[in-house]
Every structure is written in structure tokens, then in C-alpha cells.
Amino acid sequence: MGDFITIIIYAIVALVAVGALYFMRLFPILPIVTVLLLFRVLFDGVNKFSVAGVSVTSLLGAALLGIAIGMVMTGLSGLLAFASTLVLIYFSNLQAQAGFGVELGDEFIRFASVLGVFFIMRNLRSLPSRNSILLIIQMMGLVSALFSMLQFLSGTGMQIQGLTRIAGAMAHPNSAGLLYAMALTASTISLLAGISRKRSWAFSLLFGAVLLLTGSVGGVIAAVLMLTSYGLLAYHVPKRVRSVTVGVVVVTVLGFVLSPLGGTRLGELSSLDLSSSSESNSLEWRLGRWNDILLYWRESPFIGQGFGSSTKGAMLNGYPPHNEYVRALVEIGILGFLLVAAFVWLSMRRIKHVAQLPFNDPLVPGLTLAVLIGMLVNALSENTFMYSVPAYVLAMLLGLLWRRADSREDREWEISDSGRFSPIKNSIS
């Protein structure tokens, strides 16, 4: 990214921040952020374009980051944490640019916008209803799913290792698979909670179908883990819900195994040969690349090579490492890895705290726990947090949980005596 483009993007960030700072008390922020997220899905891959040489995804990321800056400056919640994290990421990214190329500056804007979504949700004046949260995730999945169906019906898609895989509006079938896993989980939970049953049924079937079309083994595993985590680990979940989630898991796995595309993908894994140096399938390729990229980590084990240093493939001849734990070690070192681990641990504590609050509806903390577990496991073999759209979903859920956990209101998400959800604050702000 050239100096001129960099100046344009940072100018947009500053202008949007000032605008958000001025207007945030006049207009509800969450609908605006939701529209930006929906456009981010639309322009993630197949529809991606540039304006005056600046990627539209960078512009959307800059807008989200600007809104976050404005909200944090006004609400002051997390101001020190947000500012210090941005400064650390920025200078770490400069280190990566010095060693591996100035184009790595794009990664700062992308990840900073994900961080921005977390702090936007952290600073909302009032919490959205659980119905609104589920609907946002479903709408994000729907935007891409419609393109997936069009690609399937027209016989188009991505040719990857001789297979036609469907990515919808997303940049890659694996990122599409992770988004559809989230949307399937949200829709299944919505169905089990009795929220808009017809819509929930339709979305569950749609997202299950397009998930299988991606041919993403990681996406299917993520869906299985998310549904299983909700059914078995979420707090105060009825036994019938646990049984139904297990049933959905079984149907999803069987559908993938019995489909031609899924059978072919699984056949690749069954031919894995660790005794030779061949890389005949994607898993063997991953194992080889992890060994290669760890050589860079050994050069700077404590602070890493700089944030984003592996994202453009400068280390692996055009490919990212396909393991977020390895990538974190290489880019931000042991110290950065420990900071990320501490954030995950604190998030888990807040999820548990919110789920155990008196009168609290366990749906949102259960969904957040399920998505977090699914993404942490997916990160073992995918570029999970480089998939911007799924990362935005996780950031949204975690931000809302941190907002609720630290709230002085005891009854913002509660269940009424009739057992139906009855939020004290139900406006979308």
C-alpha cells in the first residue's frame, strides 16, 4: 500500500471517528454497524472492488474503526485498553513492513477494525435483544448464502485441487464454511428457543446446505463443535435441547460424509502419509508449512517478526500458514501469545459470569461460548482470524458479553415469569 493510499485510509478513519463522536448520541449506532457488516460480507470476495485504488473492504474497515474510536472517546469504556492495543499493533505492524513489505499495512486496518467492533459493542448505551443478535448473524450468513446458491445452480465456483467448491460472497470456501457454521448454530439455537420458527427452520436448512457446498472440512468440524458445545456446555440448557443439537450434528456429519464433495475431501485425509516428504493433500501441505514458518519464530521468539508478517505469504511463497497458533507465535512472539491467551481466559470468565446471573437468559452467553470454542479449534488448521467476517461475528458477541458482564444493570437480559425472554433494555443502540 503506497503512502498516498495510506493517508487516504487514515483520513477516513479520523473523519468517521469525529462524525461518530458527534452523532452517536443522536442516532442508534448498532443499525449503522450492522449495515457496514452486511456490506463487508457482500464485498469480501467475489464482489470485491477498489475505489481510487483503495479496496472497498479497507474503506469499510476504516469506517468501523472510526466509529469505535468515536464511541470509546465518548463512552470511555476500555479507552486505555483500546488505545494501547492499537499502538502496540501499529508499531508491531511497522516492524513487519520493514522486514517483509509495506503492503502488510493492510493487515493493521483489517485487524484494527475487528478490534473496533469489539469496543463498539462494549460501549453500546443499551444491549440489543437476543432476537436482534441472532438476526444479525443470520443476515450476514444470508448475504453470502444467496451467492452460494446462484453459484451452485449456475455450476460456477472455485476450482481448488480439481474440485469445484462454493464460496458464495466470501473470499474462500473455508471462510464461507466458518461463517455458515456460525449462522447454522445461530439458526438452530433460534429454532430451539421458539424464535420465529418458520424463519429459523428455513435458515437452518439453507445454512446446512451451503455449508456442505463449501467442501470445507474445517467448516463442518466448526459447526459440529459449536452445536455440541451449546448443547453440552451451555448453562441452563434443557435436556430436549441437548438431544436436538446432537441430532443436528449427526445429520450435518452424515450429509457431509455422504455428499460427493465431502467424500472426496475426506478421502484426501485418509491418504495422509507422514512417513514421506510428499504433499499430496492439504493436510500434508499444512504440516510442511508449519515446520517452515517456525524457523522465523526461532529468529525472534519473544516479540515475533511483527504483526501481519506472514499474512501476505512473504514467508511461505504466497501462502499464509493455516494455523493461527503458529502464526501468533511467529508474528507477535511468546509475549503477544500470552496476552491473547489472557484475553481468551478473561472472556471465558465473563461468559460464565453472565450465564449464571439471576434471571439471565443463557442463550447469548451459550452462543458466544459455542462460537468461541468452534473458532479456537478451527484455528488449529485454518487462517481463522484472517477470515474477517467470522472474526467480526466473534468480536460482536464477545463485546456484548463484556458489556453485559461489566454492567451495573442486573436485569438487562432476563427471563420473565412466563419463561419468555423479556429484556429490560430492548432498544438497538
Q: What is the pLDDT along the chain (429 residues), one digit of tens a residue?
A: 456 666 676 677 767 776 776 666 666 789 989 999 999 999 998 777 776 667 888 888 888 988 888 888 777 678 889 999 999 999 999 888 888 877 777 888 899 999 999 999 998 888 899 999 999 999 999 999 999 999 999 988 888 777 788 999 999 999 999 999 999 999 999 988 888 889 999 999 999 999 999 988 889 989 988 988 888 776 666 666 666 666 666 666 666 665 656 556 555 555 544 444 444 556 676 777 788 888 889 999 999 999 988 887 677 776 788 889 999 999 999 999 999 999 999 999 999 889 887 766 788 999 999 999 999 999 988 889 999 999 999 999 999 999 988 876 655 554 433 333 333 333 333
One domain, residues 94 and 165: no
pLDDT given at position 286:
74
| Terminal alpha carbon distance of the chain | 35
Q: Which of 92, 125, 158 is the last residue of a domain?
A: 125
Same domain, 115 and 246: no
Q: Is residue 302 part of a domain?
A: no
In this structure, the answer to whether residues 156 and 17 fall within a common structural domain is no
Predicted model pTM: 0.87
- DSSP label at residue 414: -
The amino acid present at 343, given as its one-letter code, is F
How many domains does the chain fold into? Answer: 2
* Residues 60 and 138 reside in one and the same domain: no
- AA identity, residue 424: I
Q: Identity (one letter) of the amino acid at 31?
A: P
134 and 92 together in one domain: no
- Say whether both 50 and 165 belong to one domain: no
Answer for the pair 207, 219: CB distance below 8 angstroms, yes or no.
no
Among the three residues 125, 154, 171, which one is the final residue of a domain in this structure? 125
Burial (CB count within 10 angstroms: exposed 0-12, middle 13-18, buried 19+), residue 76: exposed
So what's the pLDDT on residue 191? 87
Strands (E), 95-243: 158-160, 163-165
DSSP strand pairing (50-51 vs 54-55): antiparallel
Q: What share of the chain is helix, strand, coil (3-state, %, to 5)?
A: 70, 5, 30
Closest CA to 169 of 181, 157, 153: 157
Do residues 117 and 132 both lie within one domain?
no
Please name the residue that has the C-alpha cell 485510509: 9
> Are the beta carbons of 218 and 418 closer than 8 angstroms?
no
Residue at which a domain ends, from 125, 147, 163: 125
Cell representation of residue 12: 477516513
Statement to judge: residues 158 and 120 lie in one domain: no
Residue 298 lies in a domain: no
Cell of 198: 418458520
- Residue-wise pLDDT for 278-295, tens only, equals 445 566 767 777 888 888
What does the longest C-alpha to C-alpha distance in the chain come to?
64
In a domain, 47, yes or no: yes
Are 109 and 174 in a shared domain? no
Angle (CA) 234-205-225 rounded to 5° is 30
Q: List Cα–Cα distances, 12 to 18, 287, 416, in angstroms.
A: 10, 41, 44
CA distance 389 to 89: 20
3-state secondary structure at position 237: coil
Domain-embedded: residue 309: no
331 lies in some domain = no
Residue 24 sits in the same domain as residue 115? yes
**Dihedrals phi, psi of 276, to nearest 5 degrees:** -115, 170
Residue range of the domain that includes 226: 128-270+356-429
Do 406 and 261 lie in one domain? The reply is yes
> Across the strands, what pairs with 248?
none
Strand partners, 47: none
Could you tell me if residue 313 is inside a domain? no
46 falls within a domain: yes
Q: Provide φ and ψ at 54, rounded to 5°.
A: -105, 125
Burial of 387 (0-12, 13-18, 19+ CB in 10 A): buried
Q: Which of 182, 225, 189 is nearest to 207 (CA)?
A: 182
Please give the DSSP secondary-structure letter assigned to residue 114. H
CA dihedral 313, 315, 316, 319 (to 10 degrees): -20
User: Residue 294 falls within a domain, yes or no?
Assistant: no
Same domain, yes or no, for 175 and 187? yes
H or E segment at 51?
strand 50-51
Residue 129 is given by DSSP the state: P
